[in-house]
Amino acid sequence: MKKHIFSSLLWIFSLILTACAIRYLPDMVSVSANATGMELPVTSVERSDSRLSLTFSAAGNCLELSNLLEILDSHQVKATFFLTGTWTDRYPNETAQIAKAGHQLGVLGDHYQDFTSLNRQEILLELRTTSDKIQELTGIRPKLFRPPYGTYNNEVIRSASDCGLTTVTWNVDSLDWKDQGEDAVIDTILNHPQFGSGAILYFHVGAKYTPKALDSLLTILEKKNYQAVPLSQLLYEKNYTLDTEGRQFPL
């Protein structure tokens, strides 16, 4: 009899735990939750609309920045710029200019290097230093991190999360750094198998042909009814999961 009562109570308790787990699971999903248990960055987003994002990495020169900002403004498009701390040191006015134009800023680390070669304390220092520099110049604390070269491991992503940063890479690389011309950049993007709604496009601030390519590309995107938005308007902040490729899916 006692054994039967105990079994019944255990069964009821299990049901309660299961119900609670189902009720609160969406809010507990982490930035890098996925089926394999491996930490992953966000690479793209599953969306029911036509949104995609243009992202730029700034770690070298800023020769084309003014042209980029003018073109984005002429198309009324906001983008996301990932900066190194050393870049903000060299170009403090340009850093503030990007933010003033309404674009989102993210972190590349204080130095452009492979973060998988760093220990946890070194990673935290790189991220916090850059975030502090950007905040000091713009008044805005970054919320996104892009690992240089797109290389990462569990420690890198977990450390970024501990700094309040979501790790984001890309799924469509423009290859603009090859300097093969405007048409090459456009063709690389539009013919990429993963180009489409929810795509995260990757460009470089100092690439020679990116401004001209960007102007033409934005015109094409407009004709195709795509909406280019900053990552803050593309990513899901909570209630999502990642597949094994890093694509966000809403729950």
- Find the mean pLDDT for residues 138-153: 98
Cβ-contact 69, 101 below 8 angstroms? yes
Tens digit of each residue's pLDDT (9 = 90 or more) over 164-215: 999 999 999 999 999 999 999 999 999 999 999 999 999 999 999 999 999 9
Q: Are residues 25 and 64 in the same domain?
A: no
Q: Are residues 18 and 76 in the same domain?
A: no
Q: Are residues 50 and 25 in the same domain?
A: no
Q: Are residues 155 and 86 in the same domain?
A: yes
The residue range of the domain holding 101 is 44-250
Q: Are residues 103 and 19 in the same domain?
A: no
Tens digit of each residue's pLDDT (9 = 90 or more) over 82-115: 999 999 999 999 999 999 999 999 999 999 999 9
Q: Are residues 82 and 126 in the same domain?
A: yes
In DSSP notation, 217-228 reads HHHHHHHTT-EE
pLDDT confidence band for 36 (50 / 70 / 90): low
Q: What is the pTM of this model?
A: 0.86
Q: Are residues 108 and 171 in the same domain?
A: yes
Residue 25 pLDDT more than 60? no
Q: Is 188 helix (H, G, I), strand (E, B) or coil?
A: helix
Total domain count, the chain: 2
Q: Are residues 73 and 167 in the same domain?
A: yes
Q: Tell me the CATH number at 77.
A: 3.20.20.370
- Between the alpha carbon of residue 16 and those of residues 6, 7, 23, 124, the distances in Å are 15, 14, 11, 39
Q: Are residues 61 and 171 in the same domain?
A: yes
Tens digit of each residue's pLDDT (9 = 90 or more) over 217-236: 999 999 999 999 999 999 99
Q: Are residues 69 and 137 in the same domain?
A: yes
Q: Are residues 218 and 137 in the same domain?
A: yes
